[in-house]
Structure 1
Amino acid sequence: MTGPDFSWDEDAYAWTARITLPPEAWAAPTEPVPLHYAPEGREEHPLDDAELASATWAVERLPALLGAARRTVHAHAVRTLEPQDQPQDLAAASALDDGVRVDAVYVHPVSRDRVPYVGVAFSCPWDEEHGLGVLLHGTRVVDIGGADTAFLLWIAERDATDPRTGLDEALLGHWDSSPFEYGVMEASEFELRADGRGWSLLANLAGEYVTRFSWRCPDAGVLELRDEDGLVSRHPYVVTTAPVTSVTFEEPVEFGHQYAKSG
């Protein structure tokens, strides 16, 4: 694949290309969107081969990155909009995804394990003032918030240098119970981030409910969750990698004992 054609954008003060997303990619607009390399902390000299390779890597994987971001965007929207701790109606929650579109993509000059950090800014129908931004490291969501979350360099740098103290890196990312919920009318998912924050989502016939929490591993093989009310629960677990990467809990997380890794 030919790499993006960059030129210096004085307004954005960044090297910028215009890219067209595949129509099957989630949140893909019909028009090209700007791809900015190093939106913060870089001078005007042309991109070198390594920087161009990083940008090309991001463009080639954008459909997968957007697919990973979709789950977090959905949970973020449900949690933001749900009225007074009531489950979000399934139809209304599903419709939230349809109104989101990519506005811009940012590739940061920061990497961890040779994988660059990529930010995506979206139009946001439920918060037009602040927009929506997601920062990813591969298919792992690093953070979500206003549109500036996608381009703030310090968020990527913090994650890239984080020693992960007190956390099990094998648990980082998104986990989904649906591959193991045969014939069950509900499913759960959760996401554990490297900054010690996370969320879980329970979906059943009544609707969808999202819980935010902090997490750590006080002992090997033990996941500790602390919800927004300060309630602490501990869940002994085992991670296996065959036939798929999965985690099994002795005590359920959101009513699920077994989850497959999906991001």
Structure 2
Amino acid sequence: MSHPHECRNGHHCRQATRTDDGEKVGAIIERAGLCPPCERHAFAAIQQLADDWIALNRAAGNVFSRLDSSPRVNQTPDRHKVPVRLEALDLATVIDQEVGRWAWRVAPHVKDAMPGNAQARVARHVTALTRHLGTLADLPAQSVGIPSVGDNGHVQWTRTPLDGADALMRLERLHRAANRLLGRTGAVTWLREPCQDCGRRTLTSNPYENLISCAHCGHAWAADEFDALTNMEAAA
């Protein structure tokens, strides 16, 4: 008999509930990991990371060659935008590292004939993740090297056990960080259709995610899946 688990997103869970003491906790689920709505949001976010990487490089003032799409630093930067440029470059670098880390674990063949330029490499890793999202979510805990900058300014590596739920949350956080840095927050459209689960007219869509989600109950659908459900109801 399986024991219930709490969604690993904790108080950030999209179906979070409150205890008698008022504490916000993750939804109760049968399988350890993320609840279905949180998992779908993570899946949708991961699929946007290649586009996020390009947008961050452009925000940093990089331009792309038509031949190889490798980022090249613009020689006339706006000095007033230097902090944003540096943050964008740092975040793009982390995205590159993180998608590679997990793509290699779910699709080892992705290492073969690796493209020489960064944009193609990131795109290849994100494509591999997109094709193996279920495998990624189910990854068992494994020791992963996490870099951090020490007081002396040198990069230090710490081995930390991370599983598939950790991978989903880490990758989704990168997409959220890109949205914030690029000024994409608040870009939400309220839809007229009722939620397929709770029936309320609280559905939203975001132009930077291929996802329809309910602000009330937290359920989420891929945009094409939601369109199919809506069309089926209309035809019934």
Instruction: State TM-score, norm by structure 1.
Output: 0.27
**Which structure's relative contact order is higher, taking Cα pairs within 8 Å and 6+ residues apart?**
2
Higher strand share: 1
